[in-house]
Amino acid sequence: GWLFWRARACGRRSGDSKRQVILFILCFCVCQSGAETLRYSVPEEMERDSFVANIAKDLGVPLSQLAARKARVVSEGNEQLFRLNQNTGVLTAKESLDREEICPQSDTCTLVFKIFFENPLQLIRGEVEVRDVNDNSPVFPEKQMVLKILETASPGSRFLLESAQDKDVGINGLQNYSLGPNPHFSLATGTGKDGVKYVELVLQRQLDREEQGELNLLLTAIDGGSPPRSGTAQVRIVVVDANDNIPVFERETYEVRLAENSPLEQLVVRVAAADPDEGSYGEVRYAFTQTSERSRQLFQLNPATGEIRVAGNLDFEETKTHKMVVKATDGGELSAHCKVQVEVLDVNDNAPEIALTSLTASIPEDAPPRTVVALFSVRDRDSGDNGRTECSIDGDLPFSLTPTFDNYYELRTSAALDRERTAEYNITITAMDWGKTRLSSRKSIFVQISDVNDNPPEFTQEVYTMWVTENNSPMLRIGSMNATDADAGKNARVNYAVVRQEGKEQPEVSVNAENGDVYILRPLDYEKVRAFEVTVRAADGGSPPLSAQALLRVVVRDENDNAPVLLHPPPDSSAAGEL
């Protein structure tokens, strides 16, 4: 394939390093401007998994980034036609591309796709032109055409023939006709106002029914491919006796406007042709000619009255205009033609469709306002106001919608988030069209708010007072301290520790790091220590951790563990006897 890369905003630069800078800037800006487009061209009927382009090379993106940023390709519409290999950066066709099936009745066939990157979200538009290959021959609707021509027809008279159809386009489409050698007729071709080629028989030498009642001619349709393809049909000329007048239609062209929701059997138009002859020569019968198979399925023509009625479900989104040719034939096999053009009017019969392209399922609570959460598109197959859409978010939520381009929207945060207040959001997006009877559809997006360590632990008390009786046993539990943290996960996991102060003796207590239980390390003596205080810190598991402190006061209770001692006079003094 071939690639055009337009970088009007940045200009041209030389050198690989400058080119990479330009490509990076284009990729960064593409979600906002949508001005740059990757363009490729491939022939139709390639084998499945055929090479289309090297996306990584064309964008200047390292291969490691494709997988790391979850690069993927999304085609417009429901069918995904391409596949992106994240390991090689190569874009391939998932199936063989048939231009006539993908883009019927279209001179050009362009498939639109988008490359999406995450972290951060980026979007790049691409187009693949599917080139026509001469894989279809011209085909006539019928293998044999029968023309009944009056023997009195004068040289120069023209007779319209059924045109061949070729599904290919351009030079590969129908180009010319040829007629087998014969003494009476030549061919004339032309192009109508609608661009469709037509072919006519031109009478060169007058017919004589008594001399030759029938002629069989070979008509060949040729396309312009290399090598060219062709299709043939037999033209059977039946020479009839004189019939003085041909049918004459009231109008050459009948133009009708019809709503796409018109019911079956509804009258579309009545064509009428008059023939002043008498008897069977004046009786006119009607039939479709030069009319596509699809139009014949959607409309029914009464051969006796000329009434055309709805016979199928019209769809504005499928075909906006139907062109038909009605042939009026009298009892003497003389005929005339008129055109019927039906314009299908759009009715608001399609609700908007919401397609989610990318979603960040979890965002941190400290995400700044206008952080992109999701990217989605809205499509309405109707036209005009019926296809014009608007999007909104249900409820009062800290999120907003920002339109980008091509009916794409970004879901962004609009205010600061707090997981401790709201841990998750169920966001309902409503897309509504502007039709008279407004149609809408909804899409729910579930977003979780991930925790950030923004809350320190909090003790239930500023000062904890605990009592212990002296002469206690070692490692005696005397109580518990408790601190809570409003965060989640490891950010809420609290560890306790005694704050050691430099220059002071090791404290007599220990605090369990996990549950805050307080223990006396060794036996205490009321006569030496009656009370003491230590500071206890509670720290969470965040990075960096947050902490809080509380004061622990331990009061020692006295126990009768000392006998009285006579201080005066001393026992060995003589004064003791006097006392």
Please report, for the chain, how many H helices and E strands are present, in that order: 7, 40
What is the pLDDT at residue 571?
Answer: 66
| Per-residue confidence band for 387, with pLDDT thresholds at 50, 70 and 90 | confident
Percent of the chain topping pLDDT 90: 47
Percent of the chain topping pLDDT 70: 91
Asked if residue 92 is part of any domain, the answer here is yes
Asked if residue 499 is part of any domain, the answer here is yes
Q: Please state which of the ranges 116-125, 154-163, 442-451, 466-475 shows the lowest mean pLDDT.
A: 116-125
Asked if residue 482 is part of any domain, the answer here is yes
Q: What is the mean pLDDT of the chain?
A: 85
Asked if residue 571 is part of any domain, the answer here is no
**Is residue 22 pLDDT above 80, yes or no?**
no
**Is residue 483 pLDDT above 90, yes or no?**
yes
Domain that holds residue 112: 38-131
What SS3 class is residue 64? helix
Token pair 């036209």 in the structure block, residue: 383
Q: Among 213, 240, 267, where does a domain finish?
A: 240
CA distance 333 to 214: 14
**Is residue 117 pLDDT above 60, yes or no?**
yes
Token pair 């941190």 in the structure block, residue: 364
Asked if residue 337 and residue 280 are part of one domain, the reply reads: yes
| Per-residue confidence band for 574, with pLDDT thresholds at 50, 70 and 90 | low
Asked if residue 163 and residue 197 are part of one domain, the reply reads: yes
Residue 256 — left, alpha, or beta (φ > 0 → left; ψ -120 to 50 → alpha)? beta
**Is residue 157 pLDDT above 90, yes or no?**
yes
Radius of gyration of the chain (CA): 45
Asked if residue 365 and residue 440 are part of one domain, the reply reads: yes
In the DSSP assignment, the letter for residue 364 is E
Asked if residue 30 is part of any domain, the answer here is no
CB atoms within 10 A of CB 378: 21
Q: Among 314, 345, 376, where does a domain finish?
A: 345
Average pLDDT over residues 529-547: 92
**Is the separation of the CB atoms in 168 and 134 below 8 Å?**
yes
Name the E strands within 394-439.
399-403, 408-413, 424-433
Asked if residue 437 and residue 470 are part of one domain, the reply reads: no
> Beta 110-117 vs 122-131: how paired, if at all?
antiparallel
In the DSSP assignment, the letter for residue 4 is B
CA distance 361 to 370: 16
**Is residue 8 pLDDT above 70, yes or no?**
no
Asked if residue 405 and residue 435 are part of one domain, the reply reads: yes
Which residues, at least 6 apart from 101, have a Cβ–Cβ distance to it below 8 Å? none
Q: For the chain, what is the domain count?
A: 5
For the ranges 55-69, 351-365, 379-393, 477-491, the one whose mean pLDDT is highest: 477-491
Asked if residue 490 and residue 438 are part of one domain, the reply reads: no
| Per-residue confidence band for 478, with pLDDT thresholds at 50, 70 and 90 | very high
More confident residue, 35 or 545: 545
CA distance 574 to 31: 110
Which residues, at least 6 apart from 260, have a Cβ–Cβ distance to it below 8 Å? 314, 315, 316, 344, 345, 346, 347, 349
What is the pLDDT at residue 15?
Answer: 40
Token pair 């630069």 in the structure block, residue: 13
Asked if residue 189 is part of any domain, the answer here is yes
What is the pLDDT at residue 100?
Answer: 83
Average pLDDT over residues 377-386: 85
More confident residue, 245 or 535: 535
Average pLDDT over residues 384-393: 87
Asked if residue 371 and residue 313 are part of one domain, the reply reads: no
Q: Which pLDDT tens digit goes with each residue over 275-291?
A: 887 778 888 999 999 88
Asked if residue 465 and residue 540 are part of one domain, the reply reads: yes
Q: Which pLDDT tens digit goes with each residue over 289-333?
A: 988 889 999 999 999 999 999 999 888 888 889 999 999 998 888
What is the pLDDT at residue 18?
Answer: 38
Q: What is the secondary structure of 128-151 as a DSSP string? A: EEEE--S----B-SSSEEEEEEET
Q: Among 408, 426, 450, where does a domain finish?
A: 450
Average pLDDT over residues 90-104: 86
CA end-to-end span of the chain, whole Å? 126
Q: Is 321 exposed, middle or buried (0-12, 13-18, 19+ CB in 10 A)?
A: exposed
Asked if residue 511 and residue 492 are part of one domain, the reply reads: yes
CATH value at residue 59: 2.60.40.60
Token pair 């809080």 in the structure block, residue: 548
In the DSSP assignment, the letter for residue 126 is E
Asked if residue 157 and residue 227 are part of one domain, the reply reads: yes
| Per-residue confidence band for 24, with pLDDT thresholds at 50, 70 and 90 | very low
Asked if residue 473 and residue 553 are part of one domain, the reply reads: yes
Asked if residue 312 is part of any domain, the answer here is yes
Q: Please state which of the ranges 10-14, 80-84, 318-322 shows the lowest mean pLDDT.
A: 10-14
Average pLDDT over residues 333-338: 90
Q: Which of 288, 371, 284 is nearest to 333 (CA)?
A: 284
What is the pLDDT at residue 578?
Answer: 58
Q: Name 236's bridge partners.
A: 146, 216
Asked if residue 422 and residue 380 are part of one domain, the reply reads: yes
Asked if residue 32 is part of any domain, the answer here is no
